[in-house]
Amino acid sequence: MELKPRIFCFWTDNTPMSNHRRIALSSIEISKLEVIFINQDNLSSWVLDDAPLHPAYEYLSAVHKADYLRCYFMHYHGGAYSDIKVLNKSWVSAFKTFKDSNYLVSGYRELSFFDTARGRGFVNDIWLASNFFKVIGCCAFICKPNTSFTKEWLRSIHKTLDRKYGLLAENPAQLPRDRLSKTFEFSHKSSYPLRWTEICGEIFHPLCLQYSQSILKNLPAPDFKKKYL
């Protein structure tokens, strides 16, 4: 499959996008790639008949739906992905260099050991944090489709969702940013069973370590200083 110069963005929430998010979305045109905005109205047209979304998808929070979709799209469609965050630079040069290379993934180097995912146990978390310079961030990247990297990424997410499907069906997300033991008003804790990074960084970052020789770190990072809520 040809790697097309396009960048996918997802909005899986039912609530309207904030003004900050709308400004961030409009900034993604600076990438100079074709921007494809996916929401609940057009998602079905991108889901393949022979590769349906995992049945747990409907129970996920909006954040976790986006975590799932970035993997699904990178595996089955390929191209670029970005969170709806402000971009300040063109991605054209980085895209071309990556497309003409033997690398499987391109991204920006994770910013610090504080930014690696936590949740897999103290030893694993420390090991990952100490190797932060070998991994790329989860917020923006380019992937060639149907590679060993994307296959393992999607398989690992499905394995987690298979394991927690029953709990998700019994305790679906109540809020867009729901997560395990999230405290609501009146000190009520959420019964939603997924940790904040459980199907994103906790899978993606260790996989980046495993495939560190197949990852190109040449992508401009999004602007993380802006407010997006």
Which tens digits make up the pLDDT trace of 107-151?
998 765 555 656 566 546 665 666 666 789 999 999 999 999 999
Q: Is the pTM of this model over 0.95?
A: no
What's residue 6's pLDDT?
Answer: 97
Q: Residue holding tokens 């895209």?
A: 95
CA 96/CA 1 separation, integer angstroms: 16
Helix, strand, coil percentages in the chain from 3-state DSSP, rounded to 5:
40, 15, 45
pLDDT of 229 strictly over 60: no
State the CB neighbour count (10 A cutoff) for residue 133: 12
**CA gap 78, 99 in Å, rounded:** 11
Give CA 14 to chain center in angstroms: 19
What is the Cα–Cα distance from 143 to 92, expressed in whole angstroms? 14
CB contact at 8 A, 50 and 120: no
